[in-house]
């Protein structure tokens, strides 16, 4: 009798273990669906830092090339001086226009 009971409990334990394994596999499959990328292909922190440094260097290089390609670049002081010069010239033109209108 003990032998039959033990046999039944072993079979029941096997079924229980199998059902637990099936549930675990379903859980793993479901979490894999929600992941953005595969765990095995993820970057290490060192690889991530290296990739970010490469992206930053590429971005800076692109900005420098765009700056060189765009032509003249002025500092704020140079732009301010140019604005003042244009304002002076516009005042001169306005004054000349006022004088020329009075002559007619």
Asked if 49 contacts 41 with a C-beta cutoff of 8 angstroms, the reply is: no
What is the pLDDT at residue 39?
65
Stretches where the chain sits below pLDDT 50 are 1
Total residues belonging to the chain: 104
* pTM, two decimal places: 0.34
Q: Which residues span the domain enclosing 81?
A: 74-104
Q: Are residues 66 and 83 in the same domain?
A: no
85 Cα distance to chain centroid? 43
What is the pLDDT at residue 102?
60
Asked if 43 contacts 51 with a C-beta cutoff of 8 angstroms, the reply is: yes
What is the pLDDT at residue 1?
47
- What's the number of domains the chain is made of? 3
Q: Are residues 7 and 31 in the same domain?
A: yes
Q: Could you tell me the CA-to-CA distances from 22 to 13, 17, 31, 42 in Å, in that order? A: 14, 9, 14, 26
Q: Are residues 50 and 35 in the same domain?
A: no
């Amino acid at each position: 009798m003990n032998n039959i009971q033990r046999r039944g409990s072993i079979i029941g334990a096997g079924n229980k273990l199998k059902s637990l394994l099936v549930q675990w596999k379903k859980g793993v499959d479901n979490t894999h669906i929600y992941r953005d990328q595969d765990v095995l292909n993820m970057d290490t922190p060192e690889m991530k830092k290296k990739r970010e440094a490469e992206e930053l260097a590429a971005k800076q290089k692109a900005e420098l090339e765009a700056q060189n390609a765009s032509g003249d670049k002025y500092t704020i002081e140079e732009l301010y001086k140019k604005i003042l010069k244009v304002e002076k010239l516009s005042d001169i033109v306005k004054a000349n226009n006022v004088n020329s209108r009075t002559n007619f």
